[in-house]
């Protein structure tokens, strides 16, 4: 890969309207998972926020301890132009790997696939550090490979299972039964837990 995946890169993707992974709304697997969460006070992080559909959905359901994190605010500004109640005060601009905090739940939606494969172990290490004991990393991962030299990057269930289980207990990792049509059969839903020390 010749391009560094830094803030300038991601801003360029938005400016060129080349954020192909955005579906314009929260995806069904995450919506249905969030819908069954009983405690609205848990601390939740959404890294790689993009247009912020997951953060907006959490906000509208009454979750208050929510943080959206991204390198750039271009996607968020586009959403705010059409969504007056977007919780902009819950957005933090910065590098995920430098972020400080402790969370009960981290929601993964296309952030993992935006990182070079060489950074995947670092991603798992950082997720472990950000989760409180008993906290969960939950989300969707692409169960396919892309012939790209830039994001999104795919992978396989076997690869993810090996990687995630180095630090986290895997509660579930299976083909999502409720993916949106363009992703049907190509998306894994997973739940991992940081065990108490």
Encode 94-145 in three state secondary structure: CCHHHCCCCEEEEEEECCHHHCCHHHHHHHHHHHHHHEEEEEEEEEEEECCC
Say if 149 falls within a structural domain: yes
User: Is 184 found in the same domain as 130?
Assistant: yes
Query: How far is the C-alpha of 165 from the C-alpha of 160, rounded, in Å?
Result: 8
Question: Tokens in use for 43?
Answer: 């601390």
User: Is 181 found in the same domain as 113?
Assistant: yes
Taking a C-beta distance cutoff of 8 angstroms, is the pair 70, 98 a contact?
A: no
User: Is 57 found in the same domain as 73?
Assistant: yes
Query: Is the full-model pTM beyond 0.75?
Result: yes
Final residue belonging to a domain, choices 75, 94, 113: 94
User: Is 187 found in the same domain as 109?
Assistant: yes
Which phi-psi region, left, alpha or beta, contains residue 62 (left: φ > 0; alpha: ψ -120 to 50)?
left
User: Is 171 found in the same domain as 121?
Assistant: yes
Say if 186 falls within a structural domain: yes
Range of the domain at 80: 49-94
Three-state DSSP state, 150: coil
Query: How far is the C-alpha of 132 from the C-alpha of 98, rounded, in Å?
Result: 17
CA distances from 155 to 61, 80, 107, 166, 171 (A): 32, 33, 18, 17, 19
Residues 6+ apart with CB under 8 A from 23: 180, 182
Q: What is the pairing mode between strands 169-175 and 91-93?
A: unpaired
Q: Tens digit of pLDDT for each residue in 46-70?
A: 999 988 999 999 999 999 999 999 9
User: Is 191 found in the same domain as 135?
Assistant: yes
Q: What is the pairing mode between strands 103-109 and 169-175?
A: unpaired
Say if 8 falls within a structural domain: no
Listed range (12-26, 85-99, 135-149, 159-173) with the worst mean pLDDT: 12-26
User: Is 108 found in the same domain as 90?
Assistant: no
Q: Tens digit of pLDDT for each residue in 103-162?
A: 999 999 889 988 888 999 999 999 999 999 999 999 999 887 777 777 678 889 999 999
* Residue 10 confidence (pLDDT): 47
Query: How far is the C-alpha of 181 from the C-alpha of 88, rounded, in Å?
Result: 30
Final residue belonging to a domain, choices 63, 94, 125: 94
- Tally the domains of the chain: 2
128, HSE (Cβ side, Cα atoms, 13 Å): 17
Say if 66 falls within a structural domain: yes
User: Is 71 found in the same domain as 144?
Assistant: no
User: Is 171 found in the same domain as 108?
Assistant: yes
Question: Tokens in use for 39?
Answer: 């405690």
Q: Quick one: what percent of the chain has pLDDT higher than 70?
A: 83
User: Is 173 found in the same domain as 127?
Assistant: yes
User: Please, which residues bridge with residue 66 across strands?
Assistant: 44
* Residue 71 confidence (pLDDT): 87
């Amino acid at each position: 890969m010749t391009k560094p995946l830094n803030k300038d890169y991601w801003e360029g993707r938005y400016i060129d309207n080349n954020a192909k992974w955005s579906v314009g709304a929260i995806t069904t697997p995450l919506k249905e998972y969030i819908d069954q969460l009983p405690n609205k006070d848990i601390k939740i992080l959404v890294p790689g926020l993009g247009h912020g559909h997951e953060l907006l959905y959490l906000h509208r359901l009454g979750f208050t301890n929510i943080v959206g994190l991204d390198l750039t605010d271009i996607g968020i500004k586009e959403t705010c132009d059409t969504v007056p109640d977007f919780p902009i005060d819950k957005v933090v601009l910065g590098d995920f790997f430098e972020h400080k905090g402790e969370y009960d739940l981290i929601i993964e939606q296309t952030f993992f696939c935006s990182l070079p494969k060489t950074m995947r172990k670092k991603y798992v290490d950082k997720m472990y550090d950000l989760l409180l004991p008993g906290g969960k990393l939950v989300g969707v991962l692409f169960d396919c490979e892309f012939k790209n030299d830039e994001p999104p990057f795919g992978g396989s269930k076997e690869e993810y299972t090996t990687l995630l289980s180095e630090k986290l207990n895997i509660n579930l990792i299976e083909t999502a039964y409720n993916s949106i049509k363009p992703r049907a059969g190509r998306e894994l839903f997973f739940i991992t837990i940081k065990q108490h020390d």
